[in-house]
Structure 1
Amino acid sequence: MKLLNKYILFAGLAAGSLAACNKQLEEYNPGSTTSDPVYSTPEGFESLVNAVYTYNRWWYGKEDGYNISEMGTDIWTSGTGDVYPDLTNYNNLQASNGAIKNLWQQLYAAINLCNAGVNRIDGSGMTEDKKKIRGAELRFMRAFYYWHIVETWGGVHFTTKETDGVVTTANRTPIDTFYAQIFRDLDYAIANLPLTTSDYGRATKPVAEAFAARMYLTRGMNQQAADLAEKLISGYSYKLLPKYSDLWRMDNLVNTEVIWAVNYMKNLVFDDRKDATLYPNGHSRGANNAHMLFTMKYDDLPGMQRDIANMRPFNRYMPTLFLLNLFNEKADARYEASFKQVWYCNNTKTAPAGMKLGDTAIFISKYVLPDNPKYRIYDRNDIYKENGGGLDRTRYISMKKFDDATRASMNEEQSARDAFILRLAEMYLIAAEAQFKLGNASKAADYINTLRKRAAIAGHESEMTVTAADISLDFLLDERARELVGEQLRWFDLKRTGKLQERIAKYNPDANAYLKAYHLVRPIPQDQIDAVTNKDEFKQNPEYN
């Protein structure tokens, strides 16, 4: 059974008082019920815990989350349809940005619900064993959400108390305080979570350990990161799938490599696209929409029309030339598994003479190619400027690893694809980076070679093998891009390693034109700044207007 495939009965009840520092505190309570009696019953408290998980759906597999976590890096630039080019390229990034506002509100709503649960669990009526597990889940999720907040905005508002009434002040808390709480919560979660769960999607002890490994690496605690990552690799039943492409099959989403995922439902009703109770202010959430965001505009070209198999082309993001050139596609199967460069004729009415259904209609290449009289070609010189910046932002090699041809219609925005948050391959990468920083490049190479062996095209294994001499921080970031492209980690990786400015300067001329040092944190939403009464204490992040 998948977790969260039931409506969260009391989620609207919880949401009414969650956004502690929002300017407009519109409390909506359709049943005129307070949270006190609801959370004092085991059933009611279970609804609180389930609701805590649902806030993942605002970030993972969603456009706002992609713009904050993947864009503005060395591997992506704007497609023609990019809604937030200020995040993708830092051009006039300000506190009015919609994605930043939305995610600030939802993350703090999640934190408030976690705090409510942690502080109310003793009165929940649950058994002691169940209280221990649910309390550990709440602490894990609080750590998880606070990581997103502190890395995105820096030392902003922090509390472990539930909001009581309207709050009009906010605090500025040091980053170290955030991480001290994150590690306290993770220690508790690791000590009290079960090893497994029958409810797919709930946090378990290995989930908490995997996230703790990421946190240790983030904070430069390399031995702890290496030890926990190795535990995930060798101490549990997680296994790398034999083929990288198998990770992205819609019929194989629950597999031995996934440690934790946001699970989306085939019955899209349960993914809460629209709900007056849960979102009384008109917000929507819904299921995974990654399949649209990385797809180029193909449906207006000869021989093509929009269909389910080729996705609905929102044309939001295009790969940088640097990202495409990171792959040796003759040796590394991850390129073919991740990207699409051929479109086949599905519309003979607009096809050139002689083109039949199934023939190549469009071919896109990162190399310079001669024209072909039989089909349309877009090559490196058509798509990218001489310096690698974007030229044609409408036609480009598209990322396909999140495609979903099982959608009910060609215009369906939602996909039942799970969004992977933690998978075993990341543990190999964490272990490799930690060992490299500890001075053991040979062991780091061993971890990397395990991933590269899985990715090697038959007969090209030797080309994919690396040695200790090949390992550097930049190589490890390159390898993370090849393995984890699009998985909502890239901006955090570059920030964590201190490489954001350097690598954008080298590899993303579109963003380099605007990137400044202060962009290492995002602007606090303007309505948050306007709402607080202690404006001398809670100010905008430096340099933002």
Structure 2
Amino acid sequence: MKRYINLFIILITGAGLLAACNKQLEEYNPSGLTVDQVFSTPEGFETLVSAAYSYNRWWYGKEEGYSISEMGTDLWTSGTGDKYPDLTQYINLQASNGVMSGLWRQLYAAVNLCNTGLGRIGNAGFAEDKRIMRDAELRFLRAFYYWHIVEMWGGVHFTVKETEGVETTANRTPVDTFYAQIFRDLDVAVKNLPVTTSDYGRVTKPAAQAFLARMYLTRGMNDRAAALADSVISNYSYSLVPKYADLWRMDNLQNKEIVWAVNYMKNLVFDDRLDATLYPNGHSRGAHNGHLMFTMKYDDLPGMQRDVLNGRPFNRYMPTLYLLDLFNENADARYNATFKSVWLCNNTKTAPAGMKLGDTAIICTKYAVTNADTAGKKYRVYDRNMCYYANGGGKDRTRYVSLQKFDDPTRASMNEEQSPRDAYIIRLAEMYLIAAEAQIRLGNTGKAADYINVLRKRAALPGHEAEMLVSAAMMTVEFVLEERARELAGEQLRWFDLKRTGKLGAQIAAHNADAAKNFQAFHNVRPIPQDQIDAVTNKSEFTQNPNYQ
């Protein structure tokens, strides 16, 4: 969705939940318009709805979102450039963490904007059909943002009313109350949203059904999760992209597998980098910046220099050995579509003698390599034993097999931080995985295998289709988690998956030696930001989550 918020909306969203300081802001409104005037017209109200969507951009395709949703799990550990080891490795994670504070503010601002719209939409002057549609969108978005809040922090502040003025008290609301409202809002959204949209990025009926299936699975309502996921698979025009690698091509982003996405603009001027509400001072680098985060440092090695094709290496995150070992790359095409293992010479000035442009300059491999294997080779090899310790912890955090799903070779320059790549929020493959897990929990392992095999047939290298098939006997929740890793690695779902299945601690202990040193059970919820704790006046009622300071 490519509409942008009016600056006027900042007055509504900026209040957020609580006052974080006592500074007085002298506001200047050159237009003379009031909130009541703007939101009493269809045109003005549309800016509110557009603004409500924009808060997705704080999370999806952004460093902060990756640090919270993919890191601190079994799939990723820190690269040398990791900025937030308190989040990614649980090293003294406390309420002072700036990512937590920013996310809290943005999510509650988003909820408040949805509450504002839902309370005022009756006076916006819409025709009835448009009113019903926009109401359904705002309800979906409120449910979506509240899911992030309740899973991150547990039973914290909850309201369905617009914030009026500065509120300095907060409530502690049970998790069940959050989910009851999430289900109410999504029921309305499923009922009233259109099946399709010409405005790519707006939520639709099948997107609402897909997210509701995710919520049903989260709350153990497996029969409903299975039915809704199957409905999205069977009743609409979505289909899996035949080749997994094609999902990530920059010229194929709006494909039939995508149920809902944040669509960033090709003209980067109109993306988020200078948005005063979402990203003051260019924070989060605007647009999609996943291409920066997972790339190893290659540009200081012989035969290499930084270029657009290989990307700008921020070197934040490296895959765990567990993630790499989950793939049989001789049968599963997803490995080479997901990861980059070979870098080709692009700089003969620093290349070894005899190396030409386009020759192999670097190989990173999950296998152990002997001296005999590399004897006489001009290229450098970084193998399993160089990159990882025996326990799987990161050893060389600068060179490693790198995630390439989010690479963008269309960027205008080698140092461009923004990418117009869409950030996928829900794609059809997840529905097969939800349906499979729900069927396992219902005891229907044969049906579960059928769903999983659809994805594995798509992923099979030619001639290896039979090798990729799985049987009902293999169907366990643990297997589905492995398949979710192979299919969805990097797509900002892993922390939620492990928390939902009650396996966050166990998976970290088994597969992420770096995070396992520090992880404790209380990390299943995040610390409430200290500036929020400090701001409330009812401190005896609104207290910090246990064991955080």
TM-score by length of 2: 0.97
Q: Give the aligned residue type for 1:400.
A: Q
Partner of 1:51: 51
Judged with a 3 Å threshold, the aligned counterparts in structure 2 of structure 1 residues 410 and 319 are, in CA distance, closer, same or farther, namely same
Q: Which moved more, 1:3-12 or 1:468-477?
A: 3-12
Structure 1 residue ranges without an equivalent (≥5): none
Q: Output the CA distance in 2 between the equivalents of 1:59 and 1:310.
A: 24
Q: How many residues align?
A: 543
Q: Partner of 2:433 in structure 1?
A: 429
Say which SS state the counterpart of residue 126 (structure 2) adopts. coil
User: 2:272 touches 2:286 (CA, 8 Å); kept in 1?
Assistant: yes
Whether the 8 Å contact between 1:5 and 1:270 is mirrored in structure 2 is no
Partner amino acid for 1:11? I
Residue 285 of structure 1 deviates from its aligned partner by 5.8
The reply to whether residue 16 of structure 1 matches residue 23 of structure 2 is no
- Partners of 1:216 and 1:152 lie apart in 2 by 18
| Partner of residue 252, structure 1 | 252
* Structure 1 Cα separation of the partners of residues 297 and 520 of structure 2: 31
CA RMSD after TM alignment: 1.4
Compute the displacement of 1:20 (Å): 3.6
Corresponding residue for residue 452 of structure 1: 456
Q: Distance in 1 between matches of 2:5 and 2:184?
A: 31
Is 2:261 the partner of 1:261?
yes
- Say whether 1:530 aligns with 2:528: no
Give the conservation status (yes or no) of the 8 Å contact 2:406–2:421.
yes
Query: Which string of whole-angstrom CA distances, capped at 9 and with x for unpartnered residues, describes residues 285-320 of structure 1?
Result: 610000000000000000000000001000000000
Q: 470, 477, 480: which one pairs with 1:476?
A: 480
TM-score (norm 1): 0.97
Which residue does 2:121 correspond to in 1? 121
Task: Give the match for residue 206 of structure 1.
Answer: 206
Cα distance in 2 for partners of 1:510, 1:290 equals: 22
**Counterpart of 1:270?**
270
Give the Cα–Cα distance (whole angstroms) in 1 for the partners of residues 34 and 504 of structure 2. Answer: 46
SS in structure 2 at match of 1:99: helix
1:10 is paired with a residue whose SS is helix
285 and 155 in structure 1: CA distance in 2 versus 1, 3 angstrom threshold: farther
* Counterpart residue type for residue 459 of structure 1: G
The answer to whether the 8 Å contact 1:20/1:112 transfers is no
Alignment-derived partner of residue 399 in structure 2: 395
Unaligned 5+ segments in structure 2 are none
Q: How does 1:125-274 map onto structure 2 within 5 Å?
A: 125-274=125-274
State the Cα deviation string for residues 205-241 of structure 1 (Å, max 9, x = none).
1110000000000000000000000000111110001
Partner residue, 1:4? 2
Cα distance in 2 for residues equivalent to 1:387 and 1:191: 51
Distance between the aligned counterparts of 2:103 and 2:211, measured in 1? Answer: 20
Give per-residue Cα distances to partners, 1:232-287, cap 9 Å, x unaligned. 01111100010101100000000100000000000011112114477668756610
Distance of 2:277 and 2:404 partners within structure 1: 35
Deviation at 1:7, TM superposition (A): 5.4
Rounded to whole Å, the distance in 2 between the matches of 1:24 and 1:492 is: 35
Task: Give, as a single letter, the amino acid of the residue that structure 2 aligns with 1:375.
Answer: Y
SS in 1 for 2:318: strand
Question: Contact 2:5 / 2:48 at 8 angstroms: preserved in 1?
Answer: no
Structure 1 75/275 Cα, relative in aligned 2: closer, same or farther at 3 Å?
closer
Structure 1 CA distance for aligned equivalents of residues 22 and 476 of structure 2: 49
Distance change >3 Å, CA 378–CA 439, structure 1 → 2: same
Which segment is superposed worse, 125-134 or 173-182? 125-134
Equivalent-residue separation in structure 2 for 1:278 and 1:60 (angstroms): 13
Summarize deviations over 1:392-415 as a string: whole Å, max 9, x none: 000000000110010111001000
Contact 1:428 1:447 in 2 (8 A): yes
1:312 and 2:344 are equivalent in the alignment: no
Q: Distance in 1 between matches of 2:490 and 2:219?
A: 23
Once the two structures are TM-superposed, the CA of residue 4 in structure 1 deviates from its matched residue by 2.0
Give distance in 1, aligned partners of 2:326 and 2:74.
Answer: 11
- Matched AA of 1:52: A
CA offsets 1:7-37 (integer angstroms, 9 cap, x no match): 5453323323234453467655543543111
1:290 aligns with 2:299: no
Paired letter, 1:345? C
CA contact (8 A) 1:226 1:434 kept: yes
User: How far apart, CA to CA, are the structure 1 residues paired with 2:35 and 2:284?
Assistant: 23
Question: Per the alignment, in what secondary structure is the counterpart of residue 502 of structure 2?
Answer: coil
Does residue 386 of structure 2 align to residue 382 of structure 1? yes
Contact 1:385 1:391 survives alignment (8 Å):
yes
1:33-112 equivalent positions in 2, closer than 5 A: 33-112=33-112
Are the aligned partners of 1:12 and 1:279 in contact in 2 as well (CA < 8 Å)? no
How far has the Cα of 1:128 moved from its partner?
1.1
1:473 Cα offset (Å):
1.1
Q: What secondary structure sits across from 2:152 in the alignment?
A: helix
Does the Cα contact within 8 Å between 2:339 and 2:401 map onto a contact in 1? Answer: yes
Separation in 1, partners of 2:175, 2:391: 37
Q: 1:278 to 1:506 in 2, by over 3 A?
A: closer
The answer to whether the Cα contact below 8 Å between 2:457 and 2:468 also exists between their aligned partners in 1 is: yes
Residues 410 and 48 (structure 1), Cα distance of their counterparts in 2 relative to 1, 3 Å cut: same
- The aligned residue for residue 514 of structure 2 is 510
In 2, Cα distance between the equivalents of 1:278 and 1:411? 23
Q: Deviations over 1:437-466 (max 9, x none)?
A: 000011000000000000000111111100
Residue identity matched to 2:516? N
Separation in structure 2 between the aligned mates of residue 20 and residue 202 of structure 1, nearest angstrom: 29
The 1-side partners of 2:269 and 2:408 are apart by 18
| % same residue | 71
- Name whichever of 322-331 and 21-30 sits farther off: 21-30
User: 445, 448, 456: which is aligned to 1:441?
Assistant: 445
